[in-house]
DNA sequence: AAATCTTACGGGTGACGTAACGATC
DNA sequence: GATCGTTACGTCACCCGTAAGATTT
């Protein structure tokens, strides 16, 4: 499982329509459909109920959606925090160092 | 950025030695070294200080390590929760439905 | 037939392994 | 020279796009 699977999954879960999700991801339907299928295999359960006029989330899908969003958000945060750490020197900013010259 | 990068990064951060990390990941050194480099590019900062006798984490690296571990743990949890949701029917277990026949 | 998701099939990017290199002790 | 990490280069997997299929309204 890779973050790509989570990004794709969230898009489909939000659109409830593979074609629209694919468009939003600048992707074509078949690869997206495939990746969702692969994800379901790896997770070990169906995340969607396929039906005409789109897809519906299963209970497992709803649970997984919350987690996936959280993971993606944390991934972005991880990058930002690392950048901040590299710039700010370190640790949550303290407004002035005791005895600091500036 | 993909989970692969985080898995690789955590391994190197724990071993502080690319060769050992590569062995642990059943991988050879060069691709691992490359992926770490790619990750640093994507994050936008050096995560390690290269030196003889291994590598040392930068401040950004230490920050990123915490996040990476958390993300990987949450990924595993996401799968487990989805599986549980699919088995358990749904939702945090309620011991009996009010008025339910069972 | 129009819309949906899926399966089939080829092509290209990129992750990997082997080999060669550079640097430090 | 032994042991690090890195660069170079060829191979193979796999992700993607196009085309064709199955199903439902």
Q: What does the pLDDT look like over B22-38, one tens digit per residue?
A: 999 999 999 999 999 99
| Mean pLDDT along residues A56-60 | 97
Q: Is the model's pLDDT at B55 over the cut of 60?
A: yes
Q: Which pLDDT value is given to residue A102?
A: 45
B99 band by pLDDT with thresholds 50, 70 and 90: very low
Q: Is the model's pLDDT at B73 over the cut of 50?
A: yes
CB of B73 closer than 8 Å to CB of B81: no
A79-99 b/e (C-beta count within 10 Å ≥ 16 → b): bebbbbbbeeeeeeeeeeeee
**CA–CA gap between residue B16 and residue B36 (Å, rounded):** 12
User: Could you tell me which residue, A51 or B67, shows the higher pLDDT?
Assistant: B67
Residue A102's CB is within 10 A of a number of other CB atoms, namely 4
Which position has the token pair 């690869």?
A31
| Mean pLDDT along residues A55-78 | 98
Nucleotide nearest to A29 (CA to C1'): C5
Q: Which pLDDT value is given to residue A88?
A: 81
| Mean pLDDT along residues B53-58 | 89
Are B45 and A82 in contact (CB < 8 Å)? yes
CB of B79 closer than 8 Å to CB of A6: no
Q: Is the model's pLDDT at A93 over the cut of 70?
A: no
| Mean pLDDT along residues A35-60 | 94
Give the helix ranges, DSSP H, for chain B: 3-15, 18-24, 29-43, 59-87
- Which nucleotides on strand D sit less than 7 A from a protein beta carbon? 3-9, 15-20, 23-25
């Amino acid at each position: 499982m890779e973050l790509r699977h989570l990004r794709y999954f969230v898009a489909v879960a939000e659109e409830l329509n593979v074609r629209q999700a694919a468009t939003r991801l600048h992707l074509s339907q078949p690869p997206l459909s495939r990746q969702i299928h692969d994800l379901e295999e790896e997770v070990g359960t169906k995340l969607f109920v396929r039906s005409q006029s789109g897809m519906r989330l299963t209970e497992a899908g709803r649970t997984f959606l919350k987690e996936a969003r959280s993971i993606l958000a944390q991934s972005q945060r991880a990058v930002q925090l690392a950048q901040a750490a590299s710039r700010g020197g370190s640790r949550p900013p303290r407004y002035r160092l005791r005895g600091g010259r500036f």
